[in-house]
């Protein structure tokens, strides 16, 4: 199905290659996981397979890519679309129509299929993919998981021989992501298409693919082979592999062996929550409605001084709404918010920003200056602090690993780097409270670990941190307390391991492996071994 022969590629105006001499072949019906750190070339490799590289992006292309017998140097994406379907990150931003059936039919209409053929094919795919209950609803009224399903249905509508998926589950909550992965696996078995998927959460796919390729910047294919052989070579350990290492087992150890070793661990008696030094944020009875539809209902939340609190819940449960209420971007219909005892009701956003650092889900929208250093200077000058910054901007950039890109254009950076620049831009005023909305989106595990370390440093310095995230492994590793929202209501709060385990579908990788609440993350194993 796929035959890549020494493929190298440079984006326009770039001297560094995005892919370097990649050789890869995929047989019909094979399932491939593309692994690699951010910027390793995963998305570029997938775009070579449908001709977007180089036809849509331009740049320099060397080598040869044969997809279903078509040479991509001659056949562009429009021709290849007959054989290749693609699911992008953030599928909702790529929808071209407003209804589910039209979205599925669009590719066939473009291909010039007859009306009856289109009608039969849409009915077939709606039936096979069990989308019937969604019909009649507008695409923007679907949940993120449902939108991902429609994007996959649209990609499969022309019965492609090859399905490409570029981090399709990034924005999904854990139950939705797991449901989509299982659904794709079932579809692939039924329809026998070739599948190539990239994801940072490797453990979701490792047991479901036949082969893993590992890319390393600048787009070099470092290793390829069956998942069992690749576990020890992955660019960053997936949680089970890391747990194996922490337990002193080989990284490629059998999952059952790891599960047995984890089950044998004794939970330390006082392992859980560190004492809270004082109440930094107290919010009581917060409610909010969008056009009359309740999004938050009587929610209480507290963050202590130096405490990291995780906020979890399904897509649409009200996490972002809560953070926006706390920041003042929307005004709650009822409730009270206090920071260090001072009421924030009626305090404008710009004034709150002196004490509260807020990084939204898409940090790119927070960046608008010419250079990384200018971003920090902008925040300081907005607060009138340019002559006496509470934090030295150069030191902060160094601490966040951004020293080498201080003069770079922020929007040209990788997702992880952009996230850190956005963080630096709000941390430069040394806020008392930091609100983070899905900070690990698009970050590889190594960047996530660095972020976790940074949050702990901030907490040790007394900053209160509230993190909304679908990344349960991240929260289990770094949060001291979890708050669970469901349909706008506070469902429960407490110790991360117990809370995640009790919340259906939100178990961490280790909890799913062992079927037990503890250990929830590799840090638990480390703490346990230290106490011994």
Partner 1 sequence: MPAPGARAVGHPSAWLAWTASAASAALLMRNPWYLLLLGGAAVAVRWRLTRRAPTRSAVLLLASLVITSTLVNVLFSRAGDTVLLHLRLGWLGGPYTLEAVLFGAAAGLQIAVVFLVMMVFGVALTPADLLRRTPPGLYAVGVASTLGLTFAPLARRSFQDLAEARRVRGLRAQGVREARASVEPLVILSLERALAQAEALTARGWAAGTLEGRRRALALTGWIGIAAGLGLWAVQPAHPVWGIGLMAASLVALAAALRGTRARYQPDVWTWPDRLVVILSAAALALLMVLMARAPELLTYYPYPLAYLPGLHPAPIAVVLLLAGPILGRGRG
Binding site for partner 1 (CB under 8 A): 50, 52, 55-56, 77-79, 81-82, 86, 88, 90, 93-98, 101-102, 105-115, 118-119, 122, 154, 158, 327, 329, 348-350, 353-354, 358, 360, 362, 364-368, 378-379, 382-383, 411, 425-426, 429
Name the residue nearer to partner 1 (CB basis): 102 or 252: 102
Name the residue nearer to partner 1 (CB basis): 415 or 482: 415
Name the residue nearer to partner 1 (CB basis): 247 or 402: 402
Q: CA nearest 172: which of 195, 149, 141, 203?
A: 149
What is the pairing mode between strands 162-166 and 84-87?
Answer: parallel
Name the residue nearer to partner 1 (CB basis): 213 or 323: 323
Place of tokens 């819940």: 313
In angstroms, give the least distance from the CB of 409 to partner 1. Answer: 10
Name the residue nearer to partner 1 (CB basis): 267 or 383: 383
Q: DSSP string covering 404-419, please?
A: GGTTS-GGGS-HHHHH
Name the residue nearer to partner 1 (CB basis): 35 or 100: 100
In angstroms, give the least distance from the CB of 3 to partner 1. Answer: 20
Q: Which two three-digit tokens encode residue 273?
A: 């929550």
In angstroms, give the least distance from the CB of 170 to partner 1. Answer: 14
Which H/E stretch holds residue 452? helix 445-460
Place of tokens 């929610």: 299
In angstroms, give the least distance from the CB of 98 to partner 1. Answer: 6
Which H/E stretch holds residue 289? strand 279-290
In angstroms, give the least distance from the CB of 50 to partner 1. Answer: 6
The region that residue 155 occupies, defined by phi over 0 for left and psi between -120 and 50 for alpha, beta otherwise, is alpha
In angstroms, give the least distance from the CB of 372 to partner 1. Answer: 14
Q: What angle do the packed helices 115-128 and 144-156 form, to 10 degrees?
A: 130
* DSSP H stretches of helix in 161-315: 174-191, 227-230, 239-246, 255-263
Q: CA nearest 49: which of 198, 216, 151, 169?
A: 198
Name the residue nearer to partner 1 (CB basis): 108 or 244: 108
In angstroms, give the least distance from the CB of 158 to partner 1. Answer: 7
């Amino acid at each position: 199905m796929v035959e890549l022969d020494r493929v190298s590629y440079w984006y326009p105006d770039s001297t560094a290659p995005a892919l370097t001499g990649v050789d890869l072949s995929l047989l019909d019906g094979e399932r491939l996981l593309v692994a690699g750190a951010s910027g390793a070339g995963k998305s570029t490799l997938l775009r070579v397979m449908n001709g977007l590289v180089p036809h849509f992006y331009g740049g320099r292309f060397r080598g040869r890519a044969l997809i279903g017998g078509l040479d991509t140097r001659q056949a562009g994406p429009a021709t290849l679309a007959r054989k290749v379907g693609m699911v992008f990150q953030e599928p909702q931003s790529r929808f071209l129509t407003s209804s589910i059936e039209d979205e599925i039919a669009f590719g066939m209409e473009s291909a010039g299929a007859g009306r009856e053929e289109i009608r039969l094919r849409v009915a077939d795919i709606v039936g096979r993919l069990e989308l019937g209950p969604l019909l009649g609803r507008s695409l923007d009224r679907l949940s993120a998981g449902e939108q991902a399903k429609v994007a996959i249905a649209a990609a499969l509508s022309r019965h492609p021989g090859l399905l490409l998926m570029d981090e399709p589950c990034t924005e999904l909550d854990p139950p939705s992501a797991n449901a989509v992965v299982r659904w794709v696996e079932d579809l692939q078995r039924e329809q026998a298409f070739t599948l190539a998927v990239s994801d940072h959460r490797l453990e979701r796919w490792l047991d479901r693919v036949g082969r893993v390729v590992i890319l390393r910047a600048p787009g070099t294919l470092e290793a390829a082979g069956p998942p069992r052989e690749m576990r020890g070579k992955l660019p960053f350990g997936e949680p089970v592999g890391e747990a194996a290492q922490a337990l002193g087992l080989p990284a490629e150890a059998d999952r059952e062996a790891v599960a047995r070793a984890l089950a044998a661990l004794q939970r330390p008696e006082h392992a859980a929550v560190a004492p809270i030094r004082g109440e930094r944020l107290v919010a009581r009875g917060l409610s909010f409605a969008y056009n009359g539809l309740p999004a938050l209902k009587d929610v209480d939340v507290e963050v202590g001084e130096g405490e990291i609190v995780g906020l979890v819940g399904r897509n649409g449960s009200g996490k972002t709404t809560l953070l926006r209420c706390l920041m003042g971007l929307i005004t709650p219909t009822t409730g009270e918010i206090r920071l260090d005892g001072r009421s924030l009701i009626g305090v404008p956003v710009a004034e709150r920003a002196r004490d509260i650092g807020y990084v939204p889900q898409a940090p790119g929208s927070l960046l608008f200056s010419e250079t990384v250093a200018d971003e920090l200077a902008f925040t300081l000058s907005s607060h009138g602090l340019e002559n006496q910054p509470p934090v030295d901007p150069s030191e902060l950039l160094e601490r966040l690993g951004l020293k080498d890109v201080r003069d770079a254009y922020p929007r040209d950076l990788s997702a992880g780097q952009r996230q850190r620049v956005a963080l630096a831009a709000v941390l430069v005023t040394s806020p008392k409270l930091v609100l983070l909305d899905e900070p690990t989106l698009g970050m590889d595990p190594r960047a996530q670990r660095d972020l976790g370390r940074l949050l702990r440093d901030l907490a040790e310095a007394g900053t209160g941190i509230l993190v909304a995230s679908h990344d349960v492994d991240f929260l289990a590793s770094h949060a001291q307390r979890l708050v669970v929202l469901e349909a706008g209501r506070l469902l429960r709060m407490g110790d991360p391991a117990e809370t995640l385990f009790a919340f259906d579908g939100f178990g961490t990788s280790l909890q799913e492996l062992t079927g037990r609440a503890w250990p929830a993350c590799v840090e638990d194993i480390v703490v346990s071994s230290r106490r011994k």
